[in-house]
Structure 1
């Protein structure tokens, strides 16, 4: 593996730092990147006006805010224009995106394959059982480990994957109960309000990225994508497929990598990433 770069920006312009270390993004469409970041900022602002801290939710983390430096490196490096295929996940995992700011963001793969590292701050209220260590986190994020391991095997280098693809999370918030147990968006009492907000900005992301194919990672995101299609009356022919979620907690999911490869082959998706 090549040396990992710690891109702590200090007072520098992040785009200048990134282009210096990653020549492939020197010709970034900055307007496109800014539009994407603005959608994310608008989503966060809208979410902040709602109270999701109702039982069983005790803690809420938003890594797109406290891990904004590395989250923005990910976007500036890998989301520089429209994408043919969008892999859409649900929300941050406690040992993945919560630690790194990157979807399915197991620290090993974010540092050593995506080549992203940097300063990660703390959420406003931290759960004692789910501390944020950033890139010093040593616990594996199992879903992220499986996800990025697969695509590193298929694509060799991340530029091949991200040339036509992007990975994004529908909801930027992670929810936990008082013990630190992970709660999904489907588990919270304010689910309807949460989904109304996230649906709206998911639609904005789709308009910007203009994907030909959406790969919903898991059942929940297949349902939410269908709901967005219905509410916003998409007239363009975006194909929607559901990919098995890489979580080892899913039933009969020990051979996820083989299932995922078959899925990509069956739906003729290899051409987008190879």
Structure 2
């Protein structure tokens, strides 16, 4: 099977975490026929080969990005306008998605970028509480309830073909958790931090070009044909 076929099969069969704290709801878009079609189109276009990828690990999907489309860091508007994959989903922009696709353009565009990288999250499914996005680390009981689930789901994804060095999208709580998580579960040789896209867009927008440059400088060496 190709990397893309493995991803699509994984998301169609993904387990939903159980026994979560009261009030926590799981974002699960994969029971939608449209989302299944969108994810198939995306992954078979950009991952239809057997090359390993470098993992870029976010926190967990949000309501308007991966929690809607099933594709990490890709909102419905980007999916249609940037990737030419039509959809009837609510065309809201998601801040992280806006940064990610500007960064992808700086690294040569989606075809070249996805040849080398795979976006995922510490937890592959997102959460909401009281209608608002909830990060896995925002509730200690949630974090503890998810530990083994997240380790098992990351191992399944590594079987697609993962490189030994990965990147945390988040230089605060996400990288702190990931380093300890990785030490306990021995998933990657090393996890390196990058600033989180949403943090950049929300708090450092005036320095957007600078942060795109940081990503470009950091990730380009992991793209063998970047300078060709």
TM-score relative to the length of structure 2 = 0.80
After superposition, where does 1:244-255 map in structure 2 within 5 Å? Answer: 244-248=195-199, 252-254=203-205, 255=207
Q: Give the whole-Å Cα distance in 2 for the aligned partners of 1:190 and 1:215.
A: 23
Aligned to 1:192: 144
| Contact kept in structure 2, 1:243 and 1:260, CA below 8 Å | no
Aligned to 2:194: 243
Match of 2:183, SS state, is helix
Q: 1:62 to 1:258 in 2, by over 3 A?
A: same
Unaligned ranges ≥5, structure 2: none
| Contact kept in structure 1, 2:3 and 2:161, CA below 8 Å | no
| Contact kept in structure 2, 1:53 and 1:60, CA below 8 Å | no
After superposition, where does 1:174-253 map in structure 2 within 5 Å? Answer: 174-178=126-130, 180-188=131-139, 189-218=141-170, 219-233=172-186, 238-248=189-199, 252-253=203-204
Aligned with 1:272 (options 217, 222, 225): 222
| Contact kept in structure 2, 1:97 and 1:103, CA below 8 Å | yes
Q: 1:150 to 1:233 in 2, by over 3 A?
A: closer
Q: CA deviation at 1:224?
A: 4.3
Aligned to 1:113: 82
Question: Does 1:36 pair with 2:7?
Answer: yes
Question: Does 1:60 pair with 2:26?
Answer: yes
Q: Give the whole-Å Cα distance in 1 for the aligned partners of 2:94 and 2:82.
A: 15
Aligned to 1:20: none
Question: Does 1:97 pair with 2:66?
Answer: yes
Question: Does 1:151 pair with 2:97?
Answer: no
Match of 1:215, SS state, is strand
Q: Give the whole-Å Cα distance in 1 for the aligned partners of 2:4 and 2:92.
A: 31
Stretch deviating more after TM superposition (202-211 or 138-147): 202-211
Q: 1:91 to 1:37 in 2, by over 3 A?
A: same
Larger Rg: 1 or 2? 1
Q: Give the whole-Å Cα distance in 1 for the aligned partners of 2:76 and 2:193.
A: 26
Match of 2:115, SS state, is helix
Q: 1:256 to 1:206 in 2, by over 3 A?
A: farther
Unaligned ranges ≥5, structure 1: 1-29, 120-133
Q: CA deviation at 1:38?
A: 4.4
Aligned to 2:39: 71
TM-score relative to the length of structure 1 = 0.68
Aligned to 1:45: 15
RMSD, aligned α-carbons = 2.8
Stretch deviating more after TM superposition (251-260 or 102-111): 251-260
Aligned to 1:85: 54
Q: Give the whole-Å Cα distance in 1 for the aligned partners of 2:16 and 2:26.
A: 15
